Amino acid sequence: MRAFRAAELLTFSAGQRLALKDSQIAPRAHSLTIVSKEKGGAVVEVKSPVQFKAGEVVGIDGDLAKDTIARVIALDPPASAKTA
């Protein structure tokens, strides 16, 4: 899972897995299912669309859609760059 900062409003649809802090989960709890609990947060699966405002940091699992790539700033290098 890679960490990204939202450069503008982001919306994630059902089925997307995200790593969020507890403070991000609480107001969106009705739209999320906790997959695994971690210290200070959890990996969640989106049940219904959720939004994140610019500046929020979100861990995103899997490949990003082209429209999402344009609206985030990568905070972690991709796995291929870590092993190079």
Q: What is the pLDDT of residues 36-79, one digit of tens each?
A: 998 889 999 999 999 999 999 999 988 888 888 899 999 976 66
Domain extent for 32: 2-83
pLDDT beyond 60 at 81: no
Cα(20)–Cα(37) distance, integer angstroms = 10
Structural domain count, the chain: 1
1 confidence band (pLDDT: 50, 70, 90): confident
The model's pTM: 0.85
Cα(2)–Cα(31) distance, integer angstroms = 21
DSSP per-residue letters across 45-77: EESS-EEE-TT-EEEE-SPPPHHHHTTEEESS-
